[in-house]
Structure 1
């Protein structure tokens, strides 16, 4: 990250009906989306921008906030104003997040936060459609794209088919299951939204009560056996689901 914050060349038309903050935001957005500002670039703060462009500080603040609301920059105390990584759009298909991110050209990193094998509780047994006490493996992974946390993923898997710790840090869950001859065939998934807890926000690099997307998925093989249950949360500022709709 450069020592000197980037100071964008911005031309303001004070005779225009378009608000000054919007003109500043539009120019910066163009530099981020189409120009020379890669993720991680530090941009001057609102005080410097207001003075340099001869606008009020609230105008500069509103311009930067509008970019933050679009997910183009992040503003954090102590870190400054930083160009954010591209928004991740994921198709609504039966695939792993790792495969989708890699195919889209993102640099992906996985951190295995928790991994344990033990007898299933009644609730866990119901989620995997097995008897209580059956050996299961529970895991939690933090997945990052282009150096930024994107998702926190909890999964339950029958212990008899669960990949190892080392494997899960290198490959996607579905890819590892396929190498064992276990093919995901169908799934039930519920998409929702809620606010982050303080602990979740810290793990994902967000503010407390930031918006999260949620996905609860039960995946079956061709015989109808449950092969995994997932309870995942995603940063709404960096992530969205895409689906195609067809007329009946």
Structure 2
């Protein structure tokens, strides 16, 4: 891929009632959505764009930020404005994120950020429906799709059934549990939303206080035993849940 930033050929109608920044954003957005600009393509900076298109720098900045707000580009200090990977849509099913992303054709990678085993606190014991002091394992992973961070995932499991840290870097949690004879059967899940903390935004390559989707899930086997508790956050700019509804 060329190191030269892409310079869009945009015709601006100064007599139009549509603001100049919106005209620029619409033209660039159409190129991205139509696949003319591949993910990872670097777009010229606002200074260059403003000079070339003969608009003010705030106008160029607003156009690029408008695209970022729609999730079509990512803007990072030092990296500039880059065309983002396609939005990830995930069905609301009892499956692992790794399996869903792989099945959808995304190139997936996992970074294990934390792996600790310790006696369960009262809150942790309640999550897993075990006695306080029972050995539990806490895992935190950063999952990326097509080179972009998508989710931060915290999972709590009984230490006796938790996969090894090396395994979790290579495979999905549910697949590893199944290999141990532990089959996820049902789950209770709560979907929500909130703003990212500074630390979360940094890990997910987002701006501070960016919108996040949250999912808290307790998973059970066929006997009703809790096999894991997950507390996950997802970039709302890159990720969404899908569900089917039926009349009763």
Same fold flag (TM > 0.5): yes
Equivalence map 1:49-68=2 (5 Å): 49-68=49-68
What is the rounded CA distance, in whole Å, between the counterparts of 2:176 and 2:244 in structure 1? 28
| SS, match of residue 38 in structure 2 | coil
Cα-to-partner distance string for 1:167-187 (whole Å, 9 max, x where unaligned): 110000011111112111110
Cα-to-partner distance string for 1:124-182 (whole Å, 9 max, x where unaligned): 11000011111211111111111111111110111121111111100000111111121
What does residue 224 of structure 1 align with? 224
> Could you tell me how far 1:22 is from its partner in structure 2?
2.1
Cα-to-partner distance string for 1:38-75 (whole Å, 9 max, x where unaligned): 12111011221122122232322222111111001112
Cα-to-partner distance string for 1:10-61 (whole Å, 9 max, x where unaligned): 2233444433322221221122121331121110112211221222323222
The TM-score normalised by the length of structure 1 is 0.95
> Could you tell me how far 1:120 is from its partner in structure 2?
1.1
What does residue 168 of structure 2 align with? 168
What is the rounded CA distance, in whole Å, between the counterparts of 1:62 and 1:210 in structure 2? 17
Which segment is superposed worse, 169-178 or 234-243?
Answer: 234-243
Any unmatched runs of 5+ in structure 1?
A: none
What is the rounded CA distance, in whole Å, between the counterparts of 2:137 and 2:57 in structure 1? 53
Equivalence map 1:117-156=2 (5 Å): 117-156=117-156
Which segment is superposed worse, 59-68 or 11-20?
Answer: 11-20
Cα-to-partner distance string for 1:100-133 (whole Å, 9 max, x where unaligned): 1111111110011111222211111100001111
Which segment is superposed worse, 123-132 or 10-19?
Answer: 10-19
> Could you tell me how far 1:87 is from its partner in structure 2?
1.3
Q: What is the RMSD computed on CA atoms of the aligned residues?
A: 1.4
What does residue 74 of structure 1 align with? 74
What does residue 178 of structure 2 align with? 178
Equivalence map 1:1-248=2 (5 Å): 2-248=2-248
What is the rounded CA distance, in whole Å, between the counterparts of 2:147 and 2:123 in structure 1? 35
Any unmatched runs of 5+ in structure 2?
A: none
| SS, match of residue 160 in structure 1 | coil
What is the rounded CA distance, in whole Å, between the counterparts of 1:124 and 1:65 in structure 2? 41
> Could you tell me how far 1:239 is from its partner in structure 2?
1.1
What is the rounded CA distance, in whole Å, between the counterparts of 1:17 and 1:91 in structure 2? 40
| SS, match of residue 187 in structure 1 | strand
- The structure-2 alpha-carbon separation of the partners of 1:9 and 1:35, relative to structure 1 and needing over 3 Å to count, comes to farther
